[in-house]
Structure formats: structure tokens, C-alpha cells
Structure 1
Amino acid sequence: MHDQKNGLLWAFCLCLGLFSKDTEIPVFTGALRLHMPAPLADQQILDAFRVNPDKTLTLKELSKFLGVAPDGRAFLRKRVRQLVHSGHLRSLPLKRFALAHLNEQYDGYVRRNPRGFGWFIADAPEIEDAFISPPAMAGLFDGDRIKAVVYQSPKGWDAQVHQVIERGRERITGTYLLRGKAHMVQPDPKIFDEPILITGKGIGKQKGLFPGVLVEVQMLSFPTDIAMASGEITGVLGVPGELSVEVQKSISASGVTYEFPPEVLEQAAKHEGAIPKKAKSGRKDLTTLPLCTIDGATAKDFDDAVYAKREGENIRVHVAIADVAHYVVESTSLDIHALDRSTSLYYPGHCIPMLPETLSNGMCSLKPNCERLCMVAEVVLGVGGAVKEAHFYEAVMRSHQRLTYTQVQAFFEHDAEAIATIDEDIRVSLVVLRDAAQRLRKVRKRRGTMDLDVPEPVIHLDEEGLPVAIHAHPRVEAHRVIEELMIMANEAVARFFTKKKRPAVYRIHEPPDAKKLETLFAFVRRLGANLGDVDVEDAKSTQTVLQKIASSMTNHPAKDTVLSLVLRAMMQARYSSDNRGHFGLASGAYLHFTSPIRRYPDLIVHRLLKKIFRGEVDEKDSAEALESLALHCSNQERRAVKCERDINDIYTVWYMQDKVGEVFSGRVVSVTDFGLFVRLSQHFVDGMVHLSTLGGGPIEKDEWGLGVHAPRSGFQIRVGDPVVVEVVNVDLVKKHIDFILREPKPTNRSTLPTPAEPWRSKAKKQPKLPGRSTGWSPLETEEEEVTPEKERPPRRKKKGKRKGNPRKKKKGKVSKSRRSTSKGSKRR
């Protein structure tokens, strides 16, 4: 009877459209009851979490709290996922969910990992880098600016993406694909992990376009929930694996623009020719002052010139900087594109300038015997190196000679040929400049400045642009003289702004993180350094200890490793309108003033100085507006530095391609969970020795990362040890260089029986030595005498017939339980 009523009720409700055919038939118990899940509003779900904001819920717990029937959980699951995607809820391990605190959103940018996940780099330096899960990375490109909620999970800091503020790039590179009639480009996984649909006329007709080549794509639309990203091919780069193609790919992948629009080139071209008289009026004439430029041998943009003379015991130093602000007017197309780049990008044999070459290598370059507009910092130094006077003004100058670092260094070393090539008044100035730099260096050393002489690679090219040699960049006294003078000028200008209480864009370097410092000090102590007690919260004490570490590691085998660890422990220097000092230079106020041709923050400082000279106050120069500019410049600087490193790696790998099978000497510079990194002595090249190639049994890593050890063979190697390696593999696309260890060779000699113990067929276990209960350390190199175990007499053989192995069945014998089914039995 009930089944008949249910059938009639089902037909009646179906006619009224109350539910579909797939709806479960309700049970009729005398009254009309429909078990249909009522639609839940997002607000109801969020209210359930707001009852106890700190509590996490599973989907089952949430449905029970809301009174949702089991057949309605699918709908609830869908709504919860949408709330997670929108940033209102966050997903936690063990299938739990929690409320995302929307009032704790931070702005930052995305760094994508080729394996699908990403990192959120917040603009606020106090926020640690947060992990972005692969599902949350859907639709995000590397470099995108986003708003995200940062929260702490059991595994660390996680980020929940809430909103995309700005796309990080308009052009990308990728591999051209043809899927049926659809034209697609697969980007580099470091940029984006989904194919991009190619649209537009004339697809596939470009010269050199065929499946598998690298192309550059101009983005037309970005991915949404219902549509994939689209773009059009703007250029064909070439076949992967070629040097020029890989370099161009790296530049495009970084988002750096290397072409100037026509209107920008037109504005720059207007400033060619002689300087008009109107531009010189009101400026100080320094054309007779014997200023000179000192730069690298291949430099073309000379943005600073120096001169010094003695005045009794004092020294008067002139630092003249190209007046770029005179030519790059605010809010023009030239200025907008300069701000977009924010910095020039340098790689072997090439430069992508911040300004068009007609300015950077023309009117803004302090070429010899050419009149140029400049900004001058005139500083008087006392006997002890203290700044007694500082004046800043606009001027007209003429460089009397263009010198190189090599030429000046040879002059300092009394080389006769170098002396003959330098004018007499310039020679006198160089001697005084050297004295001034020595005074400044003593002052900075007393106040705790860190002088880390970290080696950097220099790649030499042949006429065809191919690498022919790589070595460490020599840091000679000529470099140090110019460095000291530029730091002096930058600090003097920063103090001028603080004295005037006017906003500026400072170069700040905050104290390092206490946890990183403790890890660094523990590592150095394991190497044998005696640091004593260090208060990591005291900046002065920390600076003293770090400088002590740097100076004590001058001749240590692990010098490069320690210096790189010191750099990693440091905070990254950045630009800000808030003067927080410079920890590395131990300076209370520091900014960039000396390179406006290649750094936009320097250009901002020049403009602000000019406004102070004229007594102007501009509302656009508020601290908030300058902070926004500083943040942009910091991000662009990081992008350029990363691109320069990637291109250097490409040149390095290309250089090693024809050296597969060759053997080189080197030193271990670092130890990771998967291998040893070795730096070659003959070439400034790093490669990896994978732990799986060491042999000698299982490999254990020291807990401090000092070395590795094979317990069975006794083989051990640590940071700083000399080794001999063979190049076995070079991958240009992945930028990997693989070595195998030739010397010292891992051996199994300790596992072989010795003549004194002929009965022992297995390796004798080494007894635990005192002090090694916490794990092996490569520093314990002293051989300790190990007493052999007490010899045991051989076991006597028992008399009688030896029983066979019970597991081995005799031929023809079958157990009773298997006789009826066994194929081996003759009796069935």
C-alpha cells in the first residue's frame, strides 16, 4: 500500500516539476515529507566557522553543524571549494577547513616552481615567504602581483590567494605546438604550466615556425574558470639548445623589455647635439677642474667622475654625476618606460639599458673632452676621515681623461707604462683620491662595516660572442677607491635629506634574522672558530662578529662557503621612503645617488635635490608616493638580478659543453641532501657530484651540512676539501653540470677481512666511540684506536646426520594435504 502511495506521489510531484527523475523517491508515512536539501547560502557556511573562528572543521562536521542530510553533502562540498578558491576559507591538512582572516591580507608577488606549486613573496619584509599549493596556483603566472591571506599551517607558512592585482608579464616564451588544427604554445613551467591558445591571422605562416621551436607570445587574455589563456606569436626565437636562443628565452621569461617604443626613441633623440646656453645658466662651471672617469674596459656609459686635492691636512673631493634628470622629464613617455625597467640589465658582452643609448651612451655619458651637465657632491674630509663639509649643486663639467680600473691599478703599483699614459694633473689627483679612500675605509671599519670579498664570475667572450674563459672577478685597490668615494657621496646626500627633513628614497638594509644568525654561528663554530657569546639582538655586536668571521676566513679552505652563508643570513637590501639605516654599511642613512643612468631611484633622488635647490614642495613627493615607487624599483631590481644570474649560468654551461670527459681539480663548496657542489680551480665553475655516484655503501650527511660520510667504508668528505672530478654531463636547457668524484675515491677496504682474523668473513662492526652518540661529524678527523672485539672460538659441529632444510621439499614427496591437487605427485 505504501509503495502504491509513493508511486502516485512521485508521479504527481514530477508533473509539478518539484524534482527531477534522478531525485531519490521519498518515503510516505501519512504526511507529505520531501527530503530535498535546502540551498545553503555562502553566508550560512561562513557563519558556521565564525561561531568559533579558531576551530577547524571537516566537511562531515560542517554538514552535521548545519543539519545537512547526507544527500546534500555534494552540494556543500562544491560551495566550500568555491569559498576556498575565493579566499574566504582556507584548506588545511587532513581535509579540514578554517576561516581565512580577510583583514590580514598582504600584497606581494608570485614565484612559480616548475613542479606546480609556488611561493608568495610579500611586500612587507617581516612576512615570511608563504607556500601556495598547486590547486591555488591555477591561472597564476610567475611574477603576478596578488593579494593573499598568510597563515601558519603545521608545515610552515601557507598563502591563500584572494585576488590578482596585476599580471606580472605581457610577453612570455614557450614551445610551439600543433594539436590538430589548434595552434598552441607550451610555456616554460617556471612561468606557467598550461598551454596558451594562439589566435590571429596568418598563424603558422611565420618564417622558421614549426612544432618544437621556441617562440615569443604577446598575451591577449589570461585564463579564467571557463576559458584558457590566449595570445599571438610576435617572434620566433629558434631551436632550443642554441646559446643565443637560450639567452633570449631567459630575457623574455624574466619579463624584461628590450625594445623601446618609437615615441621614446624620438624623445631621446631630441637631446642630441651641443648643450644649449640656456641649460648652462645658473650652473657652476667645473670645465677646468681635472675630473676623470674610472670604469671597466668595456663600459660605455660613464655616469661618475672624480677629483681630489689637498687643503692642508684636509682633502676636498669632487664627485660629479651625470644630470640625467635634466633630460628625463617626469611623466613623459621616456620617464614612464625608464620607471618600468627601473634598472639596466648587464650580461656578458651585452646591456639592456634603462634609457635609450642616445642618452645612456650619449648626452648622459661623461665622455672625455665633452661638456656635460652634472650634479656634484663636494665633500671635505678631515685627517681621521670624518666629513667636515658637504655641498651639493648643479654644474657643467668636462672629463679630462677616461681611465680603466686596470690602468689605475697599474699606476698604483708604479707601472712605468701606465704612468706614462695618465696626464700629470690626473696622476696627482689619483694619489690624493687613494689617500681619501684609505681614510674613509678606516672610519667605516671602526663603526663595524662588513667588507665581504665574495668572488663573482667574469665570462670572457670571443669575437663571435662565445665564452672562452671564466674566472673570478679580481677586486683590486682601484675598485675599492671608487667604491669608497661613491659610498661617501651617497651617505652625504642621505644626511642632507635627513637634515632638511625632506622625504627621499633610501637604500635600507635591515638587521639579519636571529634564527639565521644562530644557524650561521653554529656552523662556523663547528669549523673551529671561537666566537664567544654573541647577542644576536644587538646590531653592533652582530656586526663585529660577522666582520670577525669574514676576516678570519681569508685563507680558510671553506672561505667561499662561509661567505655565501653570511650573505644568505642577511636581509636583502631594498628601497624605501622610511629610513631604517643600512646594516651592512653600519650607516644611519644611506641612499643611491651616483648611478642615475642605470638606476631609477638615483634619478628620483636627483629630482628631489633639484626641488630643494629651487625651494619647491611637491605633493606628489609624499612619503606614501615615494614608498610605492621604492617598492616597484626593488621588485624590478630583483627581477634583473635573477635574469643576470640565469644568463651567466647559460654561458657557464655552454662553456663546459666541450669538456665532458675531462678531469679537473676543485674544492667542495657546499653539501646538500642530494649531492656535493664542487667549484673548479681552473675555471670559476660549480657543478654537482650526486651522492648516488659516491659508492662505498649508504651515505650519511652531517646535521650541520659540513660533509658526508659512508659508515661502511669509512669514506668521508667535508666542505673545503680538495677533490678531483670528471665532467660527465652538461645540460644547457636545465643549466646543470654533473661531476663524478675521481679523488679521493670511496673504497670498501675496511669491509675486507684482515690477515689477523682469517676466520672473519664479514666486516667487523666498529664499536661506538665516545662523543658520537649524536651522529657523525666530519670534524672528528683524529684517528682513535679501536680495540678489537673479544675473539670467539669457532662453533663446534654437532655429530650426527645433518637434517636438511625443512623448507626444501624432497623430490617426489608431497604433503598429505596437497596430494589430491598437487601436480608433482604421481598418486592422484
Structure 2
Amino acid sequence: MPHSRTRKSKARRTPKAHPRGVLELTGAGYGFVQTSEGEFFIPASKTADAFDGDLVEVSHLPHGHEGGRAFAVSGGRPPARVVRVLARAHETVVGRYEVAEPFGVVVPEDPRIKHDIFTLRRDAPHVQDGDIVRVRMTVYPSRREPAQGVVEEVLGHSGDSGVDVELVIARHKLETRFPDAALEEVSDARVDAQGALVSGRYRDYSDRVVFTVDPDDAKDFDDALSLDCVILPGAALAGSTTTHASSDDAASACGAQESLAGEDPKRRRCSAEATEHNGFGRVFAGSLADGAKLVARGDALWRLGVHIADVSHYVPWGASVDLNARRRATSVYLVDRVLPMLPEKLSNDVCSLKPHEERRAVSVDLFLDAQGRVVDMDASPSVIRSRARLAYGWVQHALEAQREGEHDAALACIKEAAGPASEAVLERLVHLDEIAHKLHAARIARGGMDFESEEAKVRLDAQGRPVSVDVRVKTDATSLVEEAMIAANEAVARYLRDAKVSSIYRVHDAPSSTDLVDLKPILQEFGYDKRVSMTRFCSGDPFAIQEVLAAAQGRREEYLVSSLIVRAMRRAVYRDAYGPHFGLASEAYTHFTSPIRRYPDLMVHRMLKCALFGRSEETSAIEAAMNQIAQHSSEAERTAEAAARESQELKLYELLEQHVGEEADGIVSGVVSAGFFVRLADTTEGFVALRAAGEYWMLDAQRRTLTGSDSGGVIRLGMRVRVRIKDVRPLERRADFILVSAGRGIGLKLKR
């Protein structure tokens, strides 16, 4: 019977659903939650009993509730409070053990976890005051009772060498040991180059001039390069020297499966017997200088070989070593060690492309014209033999010397590594450098981004103490390798896409216009609005973003502007369907070039073999797991990057601690109402408090400036300042500075 309209229904109302998402806390106590309704700012007083990483429900707070300082760090995001925790991210917590009879109190080392954890001394009487322990949570904190747990493991003692990095490993739950089954599976792994060639699936590229270029401290070498010329059919080469390609080389030259230039996408096939008449049948045997002339006049093409370790041969789908690698998803490069994705028998030995030793590889040949356009490609498993293991520094010095006409000096840079092959290797390095510049220019011309970055690498002594910092920047040597790898990744992605073979792709979505709009006032502060259309920039026009990066080049704020734009970008992720890569201006992109250290690359190798040789009995299972693997790999990549960054910062601040009381130059990298952050040349940051500055400073949160109420002086991003290092806290990765001098017009009463 229907209810009267005047009578209230007794039916229970459905409770309003609250937005939910993962809480990301900062060391300052506040945090953010990304939900289906957008991202919310959580003030420090409104996190309730949630830990960083917990899945939480949040409820809106009225604007203005968070206060002036909090509003400055919220980035304009709406405020909210944590209503309840839906799922806990931390089963264990790492911290410093403090004796407080009858309890042992564990103070979390992670500054984002604000709750001390109580344990009973009688449960772990062997644990000493000051020990660093892992405690398993038994009761999470609430309004009624504190957090409680049981000591599970003693990691070391506070202050011990290396315990700080152990904390990073424990905090991010990184795996440090391989299961016995995985080690047993790879114990007898061997190259067996002859067996590879007899199988009929591998081509013999051992006569090519192949070499690796890596950082000088690299332990595994999973990518190598080669370069030569192939003669186009019908080219008249009076007086020139050519050689007929071997059946393998010929098949490589003419067997490209697609046209990357786009004019003729239909597939072409040829046989080794028909190489002189179909495709590029002759490999030029003269000097590359003469070969370059042939390429310039259109009689030949460059053949750029990118040779990648054939890891999939040694890691069968579903084996213990595969399952462990799938779970790790990536190697983790910490300041004092590498946590490899694969056991060292593979990563540092059988799969590593060591010089002068035969190795199984998967090779991609890119055929380029005089303008550096990739007009064809071919892929195949191969057997190679690297002629030299080069380091970036040596290659850079060699290229610089060669440009100055000092050929002997250039040879001397690589002589020790390349030996008898030095001339051949140097010749290829010079032309690879030219090709890299053309590949880079083509990428920029189609809208690709070119971000400048600085990477701090701390050098340690035998006891794990920091002794110096190398700030690595992009050079011609690093670009030479990077551009070749980008081109190979793109070629493989297009090949798999057009072959309609399932795979994992690297996808980078276009940035949100809202995030770019937030940068507009800052760019106006730098005066870039006079050179670049802010309307185009805020709409996400890649060429306008390029113009901003170009405007910053060579200026003191160059790296700051680049990092601000990077932060405004969305993260690149792995997906099981191809999509555009905004940063590279690529319609399809993948990761193919590092299967020793990235699981998605290993998956791409498997699917490339599927495309080349047909489906196997594991293909269906691989396809079914593709989506989950892509998602997990994206998450594992973020964890690995965070752990690597934290471990470097620990040692950076430990080194900075040795210079307390000294002065240093830096630039303003951030502002809040209480003061500003200063970035030093070694990439460390410290905070300058304005409490004792003698006047009130007004924050413009949009333009990121501080203006003095009496002096009218302005502190802005990118300003050069000189500071004195006051206090450093390595475990917190924080420092406090005192301002010594600043730009003109800054009326600070400086504290000496």
C-alpha cells in the first residue's frame, strides 16, 4: 500500500558514498589522496590513524579550513579528512627501538609514519636500545589504543655503516634473496653459440663491429651497437669496395617486415638466395667515411644495429626464476648495491654482453637514410661478439678530441678498451654521433620533449661512507646510446602493433591542462610569456612546451623549469594496448632494450619471437597475464625509483653534514609562507626560515614568490642566493640553511 505524502518513510537511507583512494603522506605530516572525484589535500591534523599508503575514505572539508600555510602546500586541491581506513599498506614497520620498561617502543624511521609502535620487552629481551628493527603490526592505532606489534628482526644498530640503506630496503619491502629453486634453474646456464646457430633461428653477427657503451660502474651490459652501410640495388659504385652480404646479413638487410617511413606499409619477404635482387644485398666494406658519401648521394643506407641480450632464452615462462623476476619486475639501483631482477649467473654473466665473448642476442637493424629517417627495420635472434666495453666518459672525450682534429688523442681515449678494434670503433662512434643528432632533431621536429636533468651519484669508500658526488648530465655520449635505443624501441612497437601481436607498451598520456595552468604564473615570473604563448602552453601544445624549455636553456633556472614541467606531466606507464607517448611524440612505443633489468622488456622479447616464429604453447597464458603484469610493473617501477632516490639522498645529506658551518651557493627552488628552499649544486635542498628576518613576508602561492612587507624585496624561484649550512639530518634527508646574501632589493636582516 503506498505511503501518504505527509508521512515520513521509515526506509533506511543509503549512506552517502565517500571518495576513496590511497593516502600519500609527506614528511611534514600532510598528504594527498587521488580519488575518482579528483585529488584531495589532507591536512596533518586530519589524517586520523592512517599510515602512508593506506587505502582510505575521505570526506570534504570546507575551503579555508586548512589554514594559510597548508593552503600554500595544497596546490589548490580541495581539503578533506580521512574518515576511515579500508586497507592497510604496512604489515611491518622499520624503526629505532627504545627501551621504556616494560615496553620497547619502536619509533618509525619513515617520517611519514607518525605513530610509535609499542612492543613488550619480555617478547624480545635480546633487542638493545638503539637497534634498528622490523616490527610486525598486531594492533593499528585508534582513538582508544596505540599501535602495537612484535619485533620480527633486528636489522642493525643506529649509526652502523650500511644500516641506513637497509632501512630503505625494508621500508620499500624490496627482495634481497633469490629462492633456491630459481638459483638451481640457472646454475647450469651457458651460451652455447654453436647450438644457437644450428637451431636455424639465430643469425651469425659475430663478424660485425659491435660494442657496448655504459656508465663506468655498470655491472651488466644488456645493449650493444653496430654500424655499417648497405648498398641499394642498382647503385653504380665505380671504383668503390663492396662485399656481398652473407646469407644472414642479406636476410637482415632485405627482410624488414614494415616500412617505418609510412609510404609502403605492406609486408615484404625475401630469401637469402634473392638478396642481390630484393632489398639491400651488399654490405659496403670500405671506410665508413666513404660509406657516408654513398649514403649522402642516395646509393646506400646506414644499417644501425641495436643488439639486446637474449634473456628470454634463459628465463622460461612460468619457471621459478621467471616468477621471481615477474614479482620484482625491475632491478633496483641503490647507492651502494644493486638488487637485480635476475640472479647474477644471468645478469652479470651469461646474459651480459661481455667483450670478446660470444653471446645470444636479439638484434634489430634500423635502416636510415642521409637525413636520419628510419625507412626500414629487421629483427632476429643473433649471436654477437662485442669488440669493446666502453664507458660514457671515454666516448665523450674521444668525440671531443676528434672534433678538434686530434685523431690520435681520440684513439687513446678508447685504446685500452677497444684494442686492435680502436680505429673501427672510433669511426663508428663518430658517425653514430652524427646519426644521433639527426634522430634527436627529427624527434623534436615532431613534438618530442627534451628535458634537461641532473643526476647526483654519490661515491662511497670501502666502509660505505660518502666521499664525493658526481652530478651527471646529458652528453653526446649518453645521447648517442639513448637515441639508438629510442629508435629501436619505437621500431619494435610499430612492428608488434602492425603484426597484431599482443604486447606490453610504454604509454605516456598528454598532461592535464589544469596542471600546466598552475605553472603559468611561475613562467610569467621568469618572463617566458614574452617569448611563448601561454595559451598554447596551457593547452598542452608540445611545441609551446618545447619553446619554454628552449627559453630556459642556459639560464640559472634551467633545471628548475625542466623539473617543474616534468612534475606537471603524467607518469609514463606500462599497458597491454598501444597508445601515444606524449614525451617522445611517438604513436607507439615500448621497452625492448633492457630485459636484464626490466620485466616488461622480457615480455616484449617473448612476443617479438612470437611474431617472428609463430605462437608457442605458452603464448595464451602470456597474453592472459599481460594486463596484470603491465600494472604491477608500473607500480614496481615507482617503488624502485623512490628507493633509489632515497638511498642516494641519504648519502648526499650525510656528505653535506660534513660541511655544517660552511657557505655554499644555490638557487631558490621552492617557497612557503614560513620561508624558502634552496637547491645546491650537488642537488641537495635545505630550508631557510624567515622567522628572524625582521619583517613579515607575504606569500603569493600562485607565482611562488615571497614579498617583504617593509623592504618590498621579492624572493622568487630561480633566484641565486648564498647560504650557510646550519643543520643536517641525513636520515630525514633534510637540512636547514641560514641566508648569507641574496639578490638586490632583498631587505633581510641577515643572521650571521
Q: TM-score when scaled to structure 2?
A: 0.78
Query: 1:377 corresponds to which residue?
Result: 364
Q: Does 1:563 align with 2:547?
A: no
Q: Is the 8 A contact 2:209 2:226 kept in 1?
A: yes
Q: Is the 8 A contact 2:673 2:706 kept in 1?
A: no
Q: Which amino acid aligns with 1:300?
A: K
Cα distance change on mapping 1:112 and 1:566 into 2, 3 Å: closer
Q: Is the 8 A contact 2:496 2:611 kept in 1?
A: no
User: How far has the Cα of 1:553 moved from its partner?
Assistant: 0.9
Q: Which amino acid aligns with 1:409?
A: Q
Q: Which amino acid aligns with 1:305?
A: A
Equivalent position SS for 1:319:
strand
User: How far has the Cα of 1:498 moved from its partner?
Assistant: 1.2
User: How far has the Cα of 1:427 moved from its partner?
Assistant: 2.1
Q: Is the 8 A contact 1:303 1:596 kept in 2?
A: yes
Q: Is the 8 A contact 1:293 1:402 kept in 2?
A: yes
Q: Is the 8 A contact 1:709 1:716 kept in 2?
A: yes
Query: 1:341 corresponds to which residue?
Result: 328
Q: Is the 8 A contact 2:581 2:587 kept in 1?
A: yes
Cα distance change on mapping 1:258 and 1:412 into 2, 3 Å: same
User: How far has the Cα of 1:517 moved from its partner?
Assistant: 1.2
Cα distance change on mapping 1:300 and 1:720 into 2, 3 Å: same
Q: CA offsets, 1:499-520, max 9 Å, x none?
A: 0122221111111111121222
- In structure 2, what is the Cα distance between the partners aligned to 1:648 and 1:45? 63
- In structure 2, what is the Cα distance between the partners aligned to 1:710 and 1:560? 27
Query: 2:349 corresponds to which residue?
Result: 362
Query: 1:306 corresponds to which residue?
Result: 225
- In structure 2, what is the Cα distance between the partners aligned to 1:657 and 1:537? 41
Q: CA offsets, 1:261-309, max 9 Å, x none?
A: 3222222323157567268622111111111000011101000000011
Q: Which amino acid aligns with 1:558?
A: E
Query: 2:621 corresponds to which residue?
Result: 620
Q: Which amino acid aligns with 2:714?
A: Q
Equivalent position SS for 1:661:
coil
Q: CA offsets, 1:601-627, max 9 Å, x none?
A: 1111111112222311733344x7322
- In structure 1, what is the Cα distance between the partners aligned to 2:28 and 2:197? 56
- In structure 2, what is the Cα distance between the partners aligned to 1:238 and 1:295? 36
Cα distance change on mapping 1:231 and 1:606 into 2, 3 Å: farther
Equivalent position SS for 1:692:
coil
Q: Is the 8 A contact 2:330 2:637 kept in 1?
A: yes
**Structure 2 counterpart of 1:291, from 186, 196, 210:** 210
Cα distance change on mapping 1:427 and 1:600 into 2, 3 Å: same
Please show how residues 294-443 of structure 1 align to structure 2 within 5 Å. 294-311=213-230, 312-313=294-295, 314-413=301-400, 414=402, 416-420=408-412, 421=415, 422=418, 423=421, 424-443=423-442
Q: Is the 8 A contact 2:102 2:121 kept in 1?
A: no
Q: Which amino acid aligns with 1:263?
A: A
Equivalent position SS for 1:399:
strand
Query: 1:111 corresponds to which residue?
Result: 24
Query: 1:643 corresponds to which residue?
Result: 643
Cα distance change on mapping 1:365 and 1:747 into 2, 3 Å: closer
User: How far has the Cα of 1:243 moved from its partner?
Assistant: 5.3
Count of residues in Structure 1 that have an aligned counterpart in Structure 2 = 642
Q: Does 1:253 align with 2:253?
A: no
Cα distance change on mapping 1:439 and 1:536 into 2, 3 Å: closer
Cα distance change on mapping 1:228 and 1:275 into 2, 3 Å: farther
- In structure 1, what is the Cα distance between the partners aligned to 2:669 and 2:91? 39
Equivalent position SS for 2:486:
helix
Q: Which amino acid aligns with 2:472?
A: H
Q: Which amino acid aligns with 1:534?
A: T
Q: CA offsets, 1:182-213, max 9 Å, x none?
A: 555443455655555669998333xxx31232
Structure 2 gaps of 5+ residues are 1-7, 64-77, 231-293, 296-300
Q: Is the 8 A contact 1:696 1:712 kept in 2?
A: no
Query: 1:128 corresponds to which residue?
Result: 38
Q: Is the 8 A contact 2:503 2:576 kept in 1?
A: yes
Q: Which amino acid aligns with 1:328?
A: V
- In structure 2, what is the Cα distance between the partners aligned to 1:506 and 1:696? 56
Query: 2:582 corresponds to which residue?
Result: 583
- In structure 1, what is the Cα distance between the partners aligned to 2:46 and 2:319? 39
Q: TM-score when scaled to structure 1?
A: 0.71
Cα distance change on mapping 1:159 and 1:496 into 2, 3 Å: farther
Of all paired residues, the percent bearing the same amino acid is 31
- In structure 2, what is the Cα distance between the partners aligned to 1:679 and 1:135? 29
- In structure 2, what is the Cα distance between the partners aligned to 1:475 and 1:280? 42
Cα distance change on mapping 1:222 and 1:395 into 2, 3 Å: farther
Query: 1:524 corresponds to which residue?
Result: 523
Q: Is the 8 A contact 1:503 1:621 kept in 2?
A: no
Cα distance change on mapping 1:722 and 1:150 into 2, 3 Å: closer
- In structure 2, what is the Cα distance between the partners aligned to 1:319 and 1:352? 26
Equivalent position SS for 1:616:
coil
Cα distance change on mapping 1:213 and 1:749 into 2, 3 Å: closer
Q: Is the 8 A contact 2:516 2:538 kept in 1?
A: no
User: How far has the Cα of 1:218 moved from its partner?
Assistant: 5.6
Q: Is the 8 A contact 1:470 1:685 kept in 2?
A: no
Q: Which amino acid aligns with 1:492?
A: A
Rg (Cα) greater in structure: 1
Q: Does 1:717 align with 2:718?
A: no
Q: Does 1:49 align with 2:13?
A: yes
Cα distance change on mapping 1:369 and 1:632 into 2, 3 Å: same
Equivalent position SS for 1:594:
coil
Query: 1:551 corresponds to which residue?
Result: 550
Query: 2:535 corresponds to which residue?
Result: 534
- In structure 2, what is the Cα distance between the partners aligned to 1:675 and 1:258? 41
User: How far has the Cα of 1:315 moved from its partner?
Assistant: 0.8
Structure 1 gaps of 5+ residues are 1-43, 51-88, 90-98, 752-828
- In structure 2, what is the Cα distance between the partners aligned to 1:223 and 1:687? 32
Query: 1:234 corresponds to which residue?
Result: 153
Query: 1:14 corresponds to which residue?
Result: none
Q: CA offsets, 1:546-589, max 9 Å, x none?
A: 11111111122322322121111111111112322111111111
Query: 1:675 corresponds to which residue?
Result: 675
Equivalent position SS for 2:162:
helix
User: How far has the Cα of 1:437 moved from its partner?
Assistant: 1.2
Query: 2:17 corresponds to which residue?
Result: 100
- In structure 1, what is the Cα distance between the partners aligned to 2:13 and 2:332? 49
User: How far has the Cα of 1:526 moved from its partner?
Assistant: 2.8
Q: Which amino acid aligns with 2:24?
A: R
Equivalent position SS for 2:224:
strand
User: How far has the Cα of 1:474 moved from its partner?
Assistant: 2.9
Q: Is the 8 A contact 1:280 1:396 kept in 2?
A: no
**Structure 2 counterpart of 1:267, from 185, 194, 199:** 185
